[in-house]
Chain A
Amino acid sequence: MIQKEQSMETQKAMLAGYFGRLATAQRDHRPVVYTFVPGNLTELLSAFDVIPVYPEINALQSGMRQRSDGFIREAERAGHSEDVCSYVKCDLGMMMKGNLGPTGEAIPPPDLLLCSFTGCFVFMKWFELLREQYGCDIAMLHVPYQGDGKLTPAMRAYVVEQLEREVIPKLEKIAGRKLDQARLEENLARSARAEDDLVHVFESAKARPSPIDAYFAGVYYIGPIFTSFRGSQDACDYYAALRREVDERRAAGLGPVTPDGPMAQEKYRLVIEGPPNWTSFRNFWKIFYDEGAVAVASTYTKVGGVYDTGFRHDPRRPLESLADYCLGCYTNLSLPARTELIARNVREYQADGFLFHSVKSCNSFSAGQLHMMREVERLSGVPGGFIESDLVDGRYYSHANIKNRVESYLQMLGSRRGAAGTTSSASAAPPASPQLHLPVHS
């Protein structure tokens, strides 16, 4: 019996509704736009009654359903390299095999590819490949990288100008009508409300024990707000309910709920950087909760938007706030900014350690992570751990290896704490030595 939080059931129902709407989109004459999670413009899309499809989400769903390896194989057979991001190959493979979504219903082809080119180079290549397949137009929104550590007015103006001259006109074309400014503003206002609740949920991890796992359960919490639900009433209700649920657990002094039931004892508090592996998600998580390790903060839960530093969508400055949102996604931040964020999380969430999960697929996340790790160590005074696998390519997930490393890392945290603190029990009796035979017959 796998344990679930109530909110997960709600989310499941929301998703089923979404895939249902998608399945009938063509019949209902609702335009479909493919776009990416980072920098997604959901409020704008729903102001046009356009349904967004997130190829990344489809890929991770395929991974969790053990279908990704087959899709990747299909894409590699069609000439895609083993070296490149497995999300792209998983998505292309899924398309080649009929584009059936996680519910088994077909996903309609796009009327437009909205490339929010933020935080990841691969996005551009990915949609160039999809354009080839679907023969549809791309709306290319270039969001400049905050390479020098700041968001400049020129960057914001550039993004706003592209929204006005590229994105909105192309959406108007497929939707067959003008932008409804009022609807956009309502959507943005609802987004901000849900964002407040989400931040509250994640900050609850500052409690000891933490009532949530901000990585493994966190990936569920971000589901609605990072995808097609942001700005909807459903999302507002979901986050309000989630907030209540988490507050209750916190008040009762309870820890997170794991698939094997509530976690017994919080032994290690960790901050985790990098996306998880999806093909063995449950097993991966198990390594941690079996050892009493809880993620109290993670960066992956910021890929669709960094809200804990104060950013909110803002109906008073709609396009500017959308531009700021796109520019501020976690992977669009410079490495020093990311490092700073992690170190701050280690401090503020009183973590015992932090772990980097480097995924083969994703240079955006991973290139330079070892440097970041050293920097976080320096800034926080806490040693870091490092593991490698992949997102949805099962061939690169070696459970034995990861388990060995994670456990060695936790043992190390334990032995250091044991040495520093007073917890060492001199009373631990030496274990009985096994039977020994001397090699002599005297």
Chain B
Amino acid sequence: MKSYLGIDLGSTTSKAVLLDENEQVIGRGITNTRANYDVAVEVARREALADALLSRVLGPLGERGAEAARAFRFEGDLHRLRQLRQTCRSVASAIPGDGARLVPEMDTLMARVVDVADELFGGGARDRGAFFRDLVGARFYSALDEACARGQLDFDRLSGIYDRAILQVENQLDEVPFIDALEAALRRTPSIDAAEREATLRTGIDAVRHPPEIAAMVGTGYGRARLPFARECIRSEILCHGMGAHAMFPATRTVLDIGGQDTKAIQVDGAGLVTGFQMNDRCAAGCGRYLGYIADELNLALQELGPLALTADKPCRITSTCTVFAGIELRDLLAVGEKRENVLAGLHRAIVTRAMSLLARSGGVNDQLTFTGGVAKNPACTGALTELVSRHYGPRTINISADSIYTGALGGALFARRDLRVPDVTEPTKECATCID
């Protein structure tokens, strides 16, 4: 089976989408972007392939299959958690002098994380879009904070060890083989009996022998210039977002993408071709990272922010435009007794307000608007956007897909599928079309 791969190496997350010849999505993969781009891309790609295989193998089992798929991912996480614990030990023991003292302290902390692995990774936590790094980090730091509050431990030392260890673990590619993980996952799924397990495993082995053959691929995103791809296989993320949004919602004429560190407003025509765009770079104010900071500041997980903000009864006015200062303003507001949800609602609104300016600059919202990028997963942002768009432009259809974060990668895959048609005028491209420096 021929397939087409789109890779979006974003500043925060790396995404992969696999299409079949009918331009249907057969697999998606996502991971957080990390220092080793090759690893990030490889992880995303493997996830997409695994996703395609899993849906082939487990798809027929319906809900029970979905359960098994979750268990499959759980296996991967457990494996990485074991690696992390081990790495923490070795980093700590390498510290001259205090190593001997730090190893057991670190190990105790890690044990508290391992103890709650079920709770961390189970229950579909990963489906909601949290990454291993975030889940484990949050847990580790709350354990550390707790221990330090009792005044027993050296915060800076231990957090340093942890930071170093997680970096190491993230940047190595070491996974449980597909079949092993599948087998373990099936065992963990009580609704699947032994016979069914055997049969499924056999389809699994067969699937692995005949994986989707990747006929073409296109890379895009912030880090695209670093992708190990031929130059013709790289497209500006503006073009990919436009194309991807068009594929999901053909009537869309405006695309708003809010990613980790930039915001783009794109106007497209009836074929998904870009007619104009505006982007903000230079300053991270009002992008996804802003929310990351806030989540850190409040000790919340990223996915919890939006729902909490939605419970606000009287949103605050937030004026800080700087991502870093917003954290301070938040602290100040909480200190004077503002409710957390009201402050959060204000923060979300501030982000969307900035995006509205960009939208206006790109030409406004004259027809259907599609909201893409990671921030489109945040219900408070989508809510604020809906309200502001209708206030300033009148009633407009706003499309938001559950898979909005994959829009760029989808656009890339579509360019790959459509045989990378490059108009004469730009051929041959002497130099890489993109530069991120």
Direct contact of A and B (CB under 8 A): yes
Q: How many A-B residue pairs have CB under 8 A?
A: 128
- Across-interface contacts of A6 in B (CB, < 8 A): none
Size class of the contact patch on chain A: 35 or more
Known: A400-B437, A441-B177. A428 touches B420 (CB 8 A): yes
In the complex formed, the residue of A with least CB distance to B281 is A401
Q: Which of A361-412 contact B (CB under 8 A)?
A: 370, 374, 377, 383-384, 386, 398-401, 403-405, 407-408, 410-412
Does A418 touch B at the CB level, under 8 Å? yes
Stretch of A31-39, A128-136, A206-214, A429-437 with 4 or more beta carbons under 8 angstroms from chain B: A429-437
- A438 close to B49 (CB less than 8 A): yes
With an 8 A cutoff between CB atoms, is B60 at the interface? no
- Set of chain A residues within 8 Å of B421, measured between Cβ atoms: 418, 424-426, 428
Q: Are A411 and B426 in contact (CB under 8 A)?
A: yes
Contact flags (1/0) for B157-174 with A, using CB distance below 8 Å?
A: 000000000000000000
A439, B178: Cβ atoms under 8 Å? yes
CB pair A407–B208 under 8 Å, yes or no, is: no
CB distance from A211 to the nearest CB of B (A): 21
A430 B216 Cβ-Cβ under 8 A: yes
Alpha-carbon distance A189/B416, docked complex (angstroms)? 63
A417 lies within 8 A of chain B by Cβ: yes
B433 interface contact, C-beta 8 A: yes
The contact of A415 among B230, B239, B277, B419, by CB within 8 Å, is B239
B271→A433 contact, CB < 8 A? no
Docked complex Cα distance between A416 and B239 (Å): 11
Q: In the bound complex, do residue A370 and residue B436 qualify as a contact, i.e. CB atoms below 8 Å apart?
A: no
Q: A442 to B202, alpha carbons, bound, how many Å?
A: 12
Cβ of A194 to closest chain B Cβ, rounded Å: 37
B 169-214 contacts with A by CB, 8 A: 175, 177-179, 205, 208-209, 211, 214
The residue that A419 contacts in the complex, of B233, B271, B416, B430, with Cβ under 8 A, is: B271
Does B361 touch A at the CB level, under 8 Å? yes
Q: A423 vs B422: C-alpha distance in the bound complex, in angstroms?
A: 9
Q: Quick one: given A431-B232, A439-B178, are A370 and B361 in contact (CB under 8 Å)? A: yes
- Which of the residues A424, A430, A433, A441 comes within 8 Å of B423, measured between beta carbons? A424
A404 and B434 contact, Cβ closer than 8 Å, known pairs A434-B229, A442-B179: yes
Cα distance A68–B430 in the bound complex, in angstroms: 33
Instruction: Give the chain B neighbours of A419 by CB distance below 8 A.
Output: 271, 273, 423
B150 lies within 8 A of chain A by Cβ: no
A97 interface residue per 8 A CB criterion: no
Once A407-B433, A408-B238, A414-B423 are accepted as A-B contacts, the answer to whether A433 and B217 lie under 8 Å apart by CB is: yes
- Of all chain B residues, the one with the shortest Cβ separation from A438 is B211
B216 in complex: contacting residue of A384, A407, A431, CB < 8 Å: A431
Nearest residue in B to A439 (C-beta to C-beta)? B46
Find residues 279-307 in chain B having any chain A CB closer than 8 Å to their own CB: 279, 281-282
| A414 in complex: contacting residue of B215, B216, B238, B425, CB < 8 Å | B425
Q: Is the CB of A418 within 8 A of B177?
A: no
CA distance A417 to B424 in the complex (A): 10
Name the B residues within 8 Å of A417 (CB-CB). Answer: 423, 425
B363 adjacent to chain A (CB < 8 Å): yes
Which A residues lie within 8 Å of B30 (CB)? Answer: none
Q: Is residue B104 contacting chain A, with contact meaning CB distance below 8 A?
A: no
The interface size of chain B toward A, counting residues with CB under 8 Å, comes to: 55
Q: List residues of chain B with CB within 8 A of the CB of A442.
A: 177-179, 205, 208-209
B419 surroundings in chain A (CB, below 8 A) = 426, 428-430
Given A411-B426, A442-B209: A430 in contact with B420 (beta carbons within 8 A): yes
A440 within 8 A of B: yes
Is B115 an interface residue, CB under 8 A from the partner? no
The reply on A260 being an interface residue by CB < 8 A is no
Is B353's CB within 8 Å of the partner chain A? no
Q: From residue 297 to 325 of chain B, which have CB atoms closer than 8 A to chain A?
A: none
Bound-complex Cα distance A408 to B240 (A): 11
With beta carbons under 8 angstroms apart, the residue of A405, A423, A429, A431 that contacts B425 is A423
- Which residues of the partner chain B approach A440 to less than 8 Å between Cβ atoms? 177-179, 208, 211
Asked if B214 and A433 make an inter-chain contact with CB atoms under 8 angstroms apart, the answer reads yes
**Most chain A beta-carbon neighbours within 10 Å: one of B217, B420, B421, B427:** B421
Q: Are B435 and A400 in contact (CB under 8 A)?
A: yes
Interface centre among A290, A370, A404, A426 (most CB of B within 10 A): A404
The answer to whether residues A407 and B233 also contact, given A412-B274, A426-B421, A428-B419 and a CB cut-off of 8 A, is no
Would you give the shortest CB distance from B219 to chain A, in whole angstroms? 10
A267 interface contact, C-beta 8 A: yes
Residues of chain A lying within 8 A (CB to CB) of residue B46 = 439
* Contact between B276 and A439, CB atoms less than 8 A apart: no
Contact call B282/A383, Cβ cutoff below 8 A: no
B36 neighbours in A (Cβ, 8 Å): none
In the complex with contacts A431-B420, A439-B50, A411-B433 CB distance below 8 A: yes
Decide if B236 is an interface residue (CB 8 Å cutoff).
yes
B56 nearest CB across to chain A (Å): 13
* Max chain B C-beta neighbours (<10 A), residue from A383, A418, A431: A431
Which B residues are CB-close (under 8 A) to A411? Answer: 236, 239, 426, 433
Report the minimum CB–CB distance from A265 to chain B (whole Å). 9
Name the distance in Å between B77's Cβ and chain A's nearest Cβ.
Answer: 15
- Across the interface, do B214 and A383 meet the contact criterion of CB distance under 8 Å? no
- For residue A434, which residues in chain B have a CB less than 8 angstroms away from its CB? 217, 228-230
Does chain A have a CB within 8 A of B431? yes
Q: How far is the CA of A290 from the CA of B430 in the complex (A)?
A: 8
- Bound-complex Cα distance A370 to B276 (A): 13
Answer whether residue B278 sits at the interface, using C-beta atoms and an 8 A cutoff: yes
The reply to whether A383 and B208 form a contact with Cβ atoms under 8 Å apart is no
Distance between A387 CB and nearest chain B CB, rounded to angstroms: 11
B366 in the interface (beta carbon within 8 A) = no
The yes or no answer to B275 lying at the interface (CB within 8 A) is yes
Q: Which residues of A contact B427 (CB under 8 A)?
A: 428
Most buried by B among A411, A414, A429: A411
Shortest Cβ distance from residue A257 to the other chain B in the assembled complex, whole angstroms: 19
Which one of A290, A400, A410 has the greatest number of beta carbons of chain B within 10 Å?
A400
With the chains together, A442 CA to B53 CA distance in Å? 14
Across the interface, which residues of B come within 8 angstroms of A407, CB to CB? Answer: 236, 433-435
CA distance A402 to B239 in the complex (A): 17
Assembly CA distance A400 to B222 (angstroms) = 12
Given contacts A374-B363, A383-B276, A428-B422, contact A412 B238 (CB under 8 A): yes
Chain A residues near B363 (CB-CB < 8 A): 374
B217's nearest neighbour on chain A, judged by CB, is A433
Tell me the complex Cα distance, A191–B228, Å: 59
In the complex, A134 Cα to B423 Cα: how many Å?
A: 59
Give chain B residues whose Cβ lies under 8 Å from the Cβ of A438. Answer: 49, 178, 208, 211
A45→B209 CA distance, assembly (Å): 87
Q: Which B residues lie within 8 Å of A404 (CB)?
A: 434-436
Closest to A267 in B: B425
Rounded to whole Å, the gap between the CB of A180 and the closest CB of chain B is: 54
Give Cα A309 to B434, complex, Å: 39
- Contact flags A65-88 to B (C-beta < 8 A → 1, else 0): 000000000000000000000000
B177 touches A439 (CB 8 A): yes
Report the separation of the CA atoms of residues A16 and B426 in the bound assembly, to the nearest whole angstrom: 42
Q: B353-376: which have CB < 8 Å to A?
A: 361, 363
What 18 additional pairs, Cβ within 8 angstroms, besides A416-B274, A423-B423, A438-B49?
Answer: A383-B275, A384-B276, A398-B282, A411-B433, A412-B274, A412-B277, A418-B421, A418-B423, A428-B420, A429-B419, A431-B232, A433-B5, A433-B215, A434-B230, A439-B50, A442-B177, A442-B205, A442-B208
Pairs across A and B, CB under 8 Å, 9 listed: A290-B430, A399-B437, A411-B433, A414-B426, A415-B423, A433-B214, A438-B49, A442-B178, A442-B208
Q: Which 3 A-B pairs have the closest CB atoms?
A: A418-B423, A400-B437, A440-B178
**A interface residues with partner B (beta carbon < 8 Å):** 267-268, 290, 292, 370, 374, 377, 383-384, 386, 398-401, 403-405, 407-408, 410-412, 414-419, 421, 423-426, 428-434, 436, 438-442
